[in-house]
Amino acid sequence: MSGQILIIDADVSAAQVTQACLRRVLPQIPVIIVPSIRGVWEQLPQSAPSAIIIDPGTQVVETALCIHYIRQTCPQALVLILASAPTPLLKKTMRDLPVDAYLEKPVAASVLIQALQGLLQRQAERQTLVVASSPVVKR
């Protein structure tokens, strides 16, 4: 996997726990904490993340705008929602958006890791399929 993993979470302590779990399992991949949704607008043009983990908190509208921005800027990036404040509005909004996975806190580290690894595996397989299905040009 190339790129890095971004964790967008206003609760820096929670983000550091997530970061530590990911670094234990995926030590070769940089895991960067972005402490606000607004920080994504600055971070994305500079990076090419493979995955973005977002805790929307209570910022449903801002998160929706952020996801649209991510899809425009880095369409290949996986988007995983890790909700600390799951509400019916958040759940409905996330269902209607192009997110790859939705989990609710508290979540066991093993469940988060398994979900992320499954998404990364599918992403790698899709990239392999695209390369394998490219037309051969004879000269």
Number of other CB atoms surrounding residue 34 within 10 Å: 23
Q: What global pTM score does this model have?
A: 0.87
Q: What CATH class is the domain 5-132?
A: alpha beta
The alpha carbon of residue 49 and the mean position of all alpha carbons in its chain are separated, in whole angstroms, by 8
The burial class, CB within 10 Å (0-12 / 13-18 / 19+), for 107 is middle
- Locate all alpha helices (DSSP H) within 39-108, ordered by sequence: 39-43, 60-73, 88-95
pLDDT value at residue 46: 76
Query: How long, in residues, is the chain?
Result: 139
Domain range list for the chain: 5-132
What averages of pLDDT result for each successive group of 10 residues across the chain (139 residues)? 84 96 93 90 81 94 94 92 94 94 93 91 73 48
Specify the pLDDT at position 133. Answer: 46
Dihedrals phi, psi of 82, to nearest 5 degrees: -125, 85
Please state, in angstroms and rounded to a whole number, the distance separating the CA atoms of residues 98 and 138: 38
